Amino acid sequence: MSLEIKTSNLEPIRHTYANIARRFGDKPATRYQEATYDAQGTANSHYRPLWNPDKTLNDENYTIIQMEDWYDLKDPRQFYYGAYVQNRARLQDTAEGSYKFFEKRDLVENLGEDVIDAVTFGLLPLRHVEQTANLNYMYGAAYGYGTAITQACLYAGMDRLGMAQYLSRIGLLIDGNSSDSLTQAKNYWMDDEAWQGIRALCEHTLIIKDWFELFIAQSLVMDTFIHVVHYQHLDEWLVENNGRDVAMLTEFMQDCFKDLTGWSNSTIKIVVAESDDNKQNCQRWLDKWQEKVVTAYRPLIEKMFSEEQVLIALDDIQTQLAKRCKTVGLSVQIAA
């Protein structure tokens, strides 16, 4: 007795959703494409926002930036919810391992008082800045246009909330879970003269109406200062002063900043290349916010570092900001 097994190929009736096929052709689509493109509602909203009745719920006019297709602002990382969660889970697993190692080996005992003071003054108050960054990116998620940019802003906002939480955990690690360091850091944030410019800057960003101006201020200008001052130059100072163990506690932040920089550079570059009006508006916002951030950050930098280190830090900020601006098609006009 013999059995003859036959096989047949089944062709799918369709490869993807109709709206995706109209954009990319009738072929299998990526999960990012299906989860992102045209997902935002554009018609038949139930009501206009009561707090702003001249605009629809999803309205292009929350910014003066104009795009022919807002879905051109695609995420080079291709993050939709599932991909984002999996990626950040891996980063968090690594971070949790570092925090457990730091606590298990009681590495805080290796830190001198000068290192603990530097972390308490120069790093822990940054959690309030990160909370502001969370709100700023969430504003983009709320008032941006097109799922390509709004979901990416949402993920960026959650990244910044995670950074704020990890900064709080650093405080708890160095003070034995007493929260004394966090209380002291809050006092610095509220009362120390060196932090007041940054505190005022954060409050100022919270009242910006144009969400893309806020995107430029936060992702291009403020984030460059934060990364260079707190995660490069302060990190170098800690290494030179027997505080290298703190570096493992900020690895999550550094990885996220690298990731967010690539995405925000891509977004701004596409907007700038879209039209001369877009480029002029972005350049104007860059000039405006660079001047404000330099003014706000200078007193803190001068208090955190020696006179020689201050000059090096300011020059490094200028160099890295200029490099990012060149990448996106803008130029730095004001020297730090």
The whole-number pLDDT of residue 32 equals 96
pLDDT at 1: 62
Residue 292 resides in a domain? yes
Question: How many CB atoms are closer than 10 A to CB 112?
Answer: 11
| Within a domain: 37 | no
Q: Is residue 9 part of a domain?
A: no
Q: What is the pLDDT of residue 303?
A: 97
- At residue 335, the pLDDT reads 56
Give the per-residue pLDDT at 15.
87
Question: Is 313 within a domain?
Answer: yes
* Domains of the chain: total: 1
Domain membership of residue 193 (yes or no) is yes
Mean pLDDT, each 10-residue run in order, the chain (336 residues): 76 86 92 95 82 89 97 97 97 96 94 96 98 98 97 98 98 95 98 98 98 98 98 95 94 95 98 98 98 97 96 96 97 71
What is the separation, in whole angstroms, between the first and last Cα of the chain? 87
Domain containing residue 196: 78-328
How large is the C-alpha radius of gyration of the chain? 23
Q: Is 110 a domain residue?
A: yes
Q: Which residue has the tokens 């803190």?
A: 300
Any idea what the CATH number is for the domain that residue 206 is in? 1.10.620.20
Contact 167, 123 (CB under 8 A): yes
Pick from 314, 283, 292, 320: nearest CA to 301:
314
At residue 4, the pLDDT reads 77
CB 126 within 8 A of CB 196: no
- Its pTM stands at 0.94
Please check whether residue 63 lies inside any domain of the structure: no
Give the DSSP letter string of 167-204: HHHHHHHHTTT--HHHHHHHHHHHH-HHHHHHHHHHHH
- Cα atoms in the 13 Å half-sphere on the side-chain side of 219: 31
Structure token pair of residue 30: 């990526």
Residue 94 lies in a domain: yes
